[in-house]
């Protein structure tokens, strides 16, 4: 059987043979730079061998050169290639005619960052800096969702101006460790937790037993049947020499589902708090005097104390399959506990998926930064007098309450379209429309539907008003270079992307499409080594590379650099 799948070192490497590897059944070794992709014939399935999880398609289908079958791109999860640094397995299901082919490939990368480094004081694996970064990313989207739901609990939309304001607030809080769910619990739940534990719900349950006859209070049919069968004429005779009768007694118990959740919540808060403190101090020892660290330390001490309250000691762990009862959903005290317990549990459950699909999370972040950059252009925060950006429809960021393969932002929630007006000597030179197209929706766009081979994570289409046969498309790539331990040369990355763009441009020029757009590239790379974003302009190639810090506190500055890049690219659009 001929090769059906190929691995590409970068999202844009589909047309670069030196950056492409054929995948066949067996083992494939390759250098890992952070964001590899797979190309496979359309209709085939790609799954994680560990849990049969299907990969998500990236962009529209495309027809490779010298091929008669359309192909699609897929992003490779980080967790697949980082299994104790020995590689992971993926499954392929492909049908040719009536025959179904199945094979598996083991990927062995060189340069992947591990999830754990060493052992902590409790004997558990210690999170690596990259793993701590992903926790911050997860908390970042949780905070955005809380911002959206502050006025409406059912709202999952946040205006882009509010997102920008939140990034500005994070920039001012850079001297503190990043917020997390456990920080919110420490600030809001210390007093409610104490009150709930002190007055935790208890019930009286009925229990049959042989009790002294003088304490007879309640009986039932089973007790009466036992009483009738006892020898004797009077009650004293039936009670026997020990003077005991079978009766119904009521005993008090705290072993209820809501209290099992309460105790598990205390234990999880303690564990999450200790991990938060350890991760924060690993980032910077100066955080030790931060108010957030002190607050979380007080929460850990309180949870340890409350979990040892006598009526909670013997309560077992809750059954995960038990649904919430009436008390957890309606009681004023337990309803708050259940709310925060769900958030804490969801964060724990999503850690594995966020680690596996961290490159897709970075895609979301890059798209978010581009939308913020457009907002900055629109609000004229840049020192630019020759361009004026006005939003036709601003839209809002739609945030998912739960991630889908690492993604928390819904497709199509990017800002735009925009109207761009260019002035020269005070006179209007031309007007153009800027459209922002998500790769999940690119198949339905008349121009981007032909650009599936580019592996773009966002398409910015600029068309001059009154001209329909020409367009300029800015291909935005999100390269998660922080996931690789290799040293990166930003100039080399820019050259690689530029060479790929030239190949795509040549294919478009010979393709029979109604509109052959001019292409330029913007690569947004993640880096942990820098506290400030840096931008690399290439006047010859027109490709821009921006290295963005992984810390959310530095993202507003990165959005400003991206805004400058958008203006630079707009100035070089072919008229």
Q: What is the SS3 assignment for 155-202?
A: CCEEEHHHHHHHHHHHHHCCCCCCCCHHHHHHHHCHHHHHHHHHCCCC
Distance CA 59, CA 448 (A): 9
pLDDT recorded at residue 85: 46
**217 domain residue, yes or no:** no
Return the SS3 of 452: helix
List all residues 6 or more positions away from 513 whose beta carbon is below 8 Å from its beta carbon: 450
Residue 394 has pLDDT above 90, yes or no: no
Question: For residue 158, what are the domain limits?
Answer: 124-198+256-350
Distance CA 281, CA 168 (A): 24
Q: 538 pLDDT band (50/70/90 cuts)?
A: low
Q: Which segment of 199-203, 361-365, 446-450, 536-540 scores lowest on mean pLDDT?
A: 536-540
The string of DSSP letters for 489-527 reads -HHHHHHHHHHHHHHHHHHHHHS--S---EEEEEEEEEE
Distance CA 388, CA 419 (A): 8
List all residues 6 or more positions away from 468 whose beta carbon is below 8 Å from its beta carbon: 515
Distance CA 472, CA 433 (A): 10
Strand partners, 54: 47
Residues 36 and 47 both lie in one domain: yes
Distance CA 227, CA 367 (A): 78
Residues 326 and 468 both lie in one domain: no
Main-chain dihedrals φ then ψ at residue 196, nearest 5 degrees: -70, -40
Residues 344 and 364 both lie in one domain: no
Residues 383 and 338 both lie in one domain: no
Domain termination residue (choose one: 314, 331, 350): 350
List all residues 6 or more positions away from 478 whose beta carbon is below 8 Å from its beta carbon: 11, 35, 359, 362, 363, 365, 366, 367, 457, 458, 524, 526
pLDDT recorded at residue 1: 43
**236 domain residue, yes or no:** no
pLDDT above 70 covers what percent of the chain?
93
pTM above 0.75, yes or no: yes
Residues 81 and 145 both lie in one domain: no
Closest listed residue to residue 454, CA positions, set 3, 39, 55, 54: 39
For residue 112, what is the DSSP state? B
Closest listed residue to residue 544, CA positions, set 504, 507, 499, 490: 490
Tell me the pLDDT tens digit for each residue of 561-573.
998 888 887 776 6
Return the SS3 of 1: coil
pLDDT recorded at residue 86: 46
The number of folded domains in the chain is 2
Overall average pLDDT of the 18-47 stretch: 86
Strand partners, 547: 525, 534
**238 domain residue, yes or no:** no
Domain termination residue (choose one: 305, 329, 350): 350
**227 domain residue, yes or no:** no
pLDDT recorded at residue 381: 47
**246 domain residue, yes or no:** no
Residues 322 and 431 both lie in one domain: no
**231 domain residue, yes or no:** no
Domain termination residue (choose one: 350, 381, 405): 350
Higher-scoring residue by pLDDT: 52, 147 = 147
Tell me the pLDDT tens digit for each residue of 74-92.
998 886 665 544 457 787 8
């Amino acid at each position: 059987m001929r090769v059906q799948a190929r691995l590409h070192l970068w999202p844009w490497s589909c047309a670069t043979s030196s950056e492409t590897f054929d995948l066949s059944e067996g083992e494939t070794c390759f250098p890992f730079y952070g964001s590899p992709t797979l190309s496979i014939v359309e209709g085939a399935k790609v799954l994680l061998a560990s849990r049969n999880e299907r990969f998500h398609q990236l962009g529209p289908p495309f027809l490779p050169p010298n091929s008669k079958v359309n192909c699609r791109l897929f992003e490779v999860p980080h967790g697949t290639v980082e299994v104790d640094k020995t590689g992971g397995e993926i499954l392929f299901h492909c049908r040719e005619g009536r025959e179904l082919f199945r094979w598996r490939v083991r990927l062995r990368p060189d340069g992947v960052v591990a999830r754990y480094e060493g052992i902590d004081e409790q004997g558990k694996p210690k999170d690596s800096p990259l793993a701590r970064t992903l926790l911050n990313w997860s908390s970042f989207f949780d905070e955005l969702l809380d911002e959206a739901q502050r006025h409406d609990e059912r709202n999952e939309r946040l205006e882009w101006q509010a997102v920008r304001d939140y990034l500005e607030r994070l920039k001012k809080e850079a001297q503190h460790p990043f917020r997390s769910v456990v920080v919110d619990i420490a600030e809001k739940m210390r007093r409610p937790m104490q009150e709930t534990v002190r007055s935790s719900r208890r019930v009286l349950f009925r229990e049959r037993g042989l009790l002294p006859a003088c304490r007879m209070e309640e009986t039932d049919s089973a007790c009466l049947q036992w009483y009738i069968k006892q020898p004797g004429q009077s009650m004293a005779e039936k009670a026997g020499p020990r003077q005991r009768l079978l009766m119904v007694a009521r005993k008090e118990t705290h072993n209820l589902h809501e209290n099992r959740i309460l105790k598990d919540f205390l234990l999880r808060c303690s564990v999450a708090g200790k991990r938060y403190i350890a991760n924060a101090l690993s980032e910077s020892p100066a955080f030790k005097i931060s108010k957030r660290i002190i607050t979380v330390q007080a929460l850990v001490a309180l949870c340890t104390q409350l979990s040892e309250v006598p009526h909670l000691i013997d309560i077992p762990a809750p059954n995960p399959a038990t649904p919430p009862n009436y008390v957890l959903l309606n009681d004023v005290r337990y309803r708050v506990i259940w709310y925060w317990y769900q958030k804490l549990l969801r964060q724990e459950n999503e850690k594995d998926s966020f680690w596996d699909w961290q490159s897709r999370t970075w895609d979301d972040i890059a798209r978010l930064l581009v939308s913020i950059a457009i907002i900055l252009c629109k609000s004229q925060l840049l020192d630019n007098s020759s361009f004026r950006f006005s939003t036709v429809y601003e839209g809002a960021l739609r945030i998912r309450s739960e991630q889908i393969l690492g993604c928390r932002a819904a497709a199509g929630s990017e800002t735009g379209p925009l109207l761009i007006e260019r002035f020269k000597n005070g006179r209007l030179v031309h007007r153009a429309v800027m459209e922002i197209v998500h790769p999940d929706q690119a198949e339905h766009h008349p121009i981007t539907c032909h650009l599936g081979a580019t592996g773009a994570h966002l398409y910015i289409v600029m068309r001059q008003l009154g001209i329909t046969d020409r367009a300029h498309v800015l291909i935005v790539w999100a390269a998660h270079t922080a996931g690789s331990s290799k040293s990166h040369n930003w100039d080399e990355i820019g050259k690689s992307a530029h060479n790929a763009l030239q190949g795509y441009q040549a294919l478009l020029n010979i393709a029979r499409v109604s509109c052959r757009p001019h292409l330029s590239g913007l690569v947004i790379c993640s880096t942990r080594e820098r506290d400030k974003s840096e931008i690399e302009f290439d006047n010859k190639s027109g490709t821009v590379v921006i290295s963005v810090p992984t810390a959310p506190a530095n993202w507003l500055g990165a959005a400003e650099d991206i805004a400058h890049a958008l203006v630079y690219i707009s100035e070089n659009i072919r008229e």
